Structure formats: C-alpha cells, structure tokens
Amino acid sequence: QVQLAESGGGLVQAGGSLRLSCAASGNTFSIRSMGWYRQGPGKQREFVASISSDGSTNYADSVKGRFTISRDNAKNSAYLQMNSLKTEDTAVYLCYVVAGGLYWGQGTQVTVSS
C-alpha cells in the first residue's frame, strides 16, 4: 500500500513557473516509478512525465523542454518543475506511483492565465 500527498498547484500567468511535489508513504521500498498525468477542462487524462527508480525520465511531447521531473529517493518524493507555462497546461495534475500496483494522488489544480 502506498499513499501519495500532492501539492504545489496554483494560478500563474502564461510564461510563469510552478513546482509540483508528490510525497509517497507506506510501502515505498517497492516504488518503481513516479510521475504525473493531467486532465484539462473538456479533455481526457494524458500522460505528462515519469521518472523510474534508476532516474530515467520520459516526457510528453507537449511538455518537453519546459517541464523537468526529478526524484528524491531519500524523501520518497517526486517533483515536477514546470516552466514557460502555457494556457493549455491548465489542468488537474495527478501524481502516480508504480509500486506493485498503480496508486494515485488526490490531484492539484494548475491554472495558467493569458
């Protein structure tokens, strides 16, 4: 069992930055990867970024070069640094962890104004 606590969302103007945090607790020894999906208004949930236990990363094409995912294994946490934000980045961002099964955080709202 893994529990996720997600934070860092907010309201920013286009071109601004936010940093999301996701802290895992429980059976953290089993974590293989962490990352984020997002769901914008009127859109389906889409993959954003992931980071595996060896530090390898993957990004959606829409965020490459703007978002950076990182991980602090000692703190069982992942971070998503979001720069050069665009209005189309507006969404609920959902942290996930692969730890035997798939676990989800509660989501945090990111709103980017023009």
Distance CA 53, CA 47 (A): 18
Residue 92: which residues within 8 A CB-CB, separation 6 or more?
38, 39, 40, 107, 108, 109, 110
Distance CA 104, CA 101 (A): 10
Residue 61's SS3 state is coil
Cβ-based neighbour number of residue 46 at 10 Å: 14
Q: Which of 94, 90, 98 is nearest to 107 (CA)?
A: 94
The pLDDT score that the predictor gives to residue 73 is 86
Which residues does the chain have with pLDDT short of 50? none
Distance CA 87, CA 91 (A): 9
The pLDDT score that the predictor gives to residue 65 is 98
The pLDDT score that the predictor gives to residue 43 is 94
